[in-house]
Amino acid sequence: MKHELVIASNNRHKIEEMNSLLGSSFLLKSLAEIGCYEELPETQASIAGNSLQKAQYVYDHYGVACFADDSGLEVEALQGEPGVHSAYYAGPQRSADDNIRLLLEKLNRQSNRKAQFKTIITLVEPEGVQSFEGIVPGTILTEKRGTGGFGYDPVFLPDGETKTFAEMIMEEKNRISHRARALQKLADYLQSTYGS
């Protein structure tokens, strides 16, 4: 029997990525497949808080085991900014170009350009709550490089790499990304707990 699980997303790419990690003993459903069409709440002050809030909302309202992720860029010299506000750092328009411009302005005279991308995945199920973290450390460049990816990818150079996230093809980025690392931890947990 397949173990049913809901991902707090309708993003087909995310669902395919997770399905490939989980294998055939799991049946992964999107929010639309359980009839959840409302905007999930994200009102917490941390990445971990938002991740838990979204998964808990689905579990409480739809009675199904659910996992949700939240991600952000944390810059050391800016005391962890933009963090939980990564998507709308420069305002509610959620413009990646505006966000990058503001970030580079704030780092203009900084020699410390260390940063990390962080993803927290939270799984809420009848047995309790589990949390999984994925981190990619790197450096913020002084100008954009590459046209792929999204968000801050053009200015983020992962440690040990010669290409920014925006210069990598999707397979390269997925192999080392913060989300892939957190997803792998979740997949390992599910396989060891429920896998056949």
What are the residue numbers of the active site? 70
Q: DSSP assignment, residue 168?
A: S
Torsion sign across C-alpha atoms 50, 52, 53, 57:
positive
Burial category of 154 from C-beta neighbours within 10 Å (exposed 0-12, middle 13-18, buried 19 and up): buried
> Cβ of 134: how many Cβ atoms within 10 Å?
22
Nearest to 99 by CA among 150, 139, 51: 150
> Cβ of 184: how many Cβ atoms within 10 Å?
13
Q: What type of residue is 134?
A: G
Burial category of 142 from C-beta neighbours within 10 Å (exposed 0-12, middle 13-18, buried 19 and up): exposed
Buried b (16+ CB within 10 A) or exposed e, 15-46: bebbeebbeeebebebbeebebeeebeeeeee
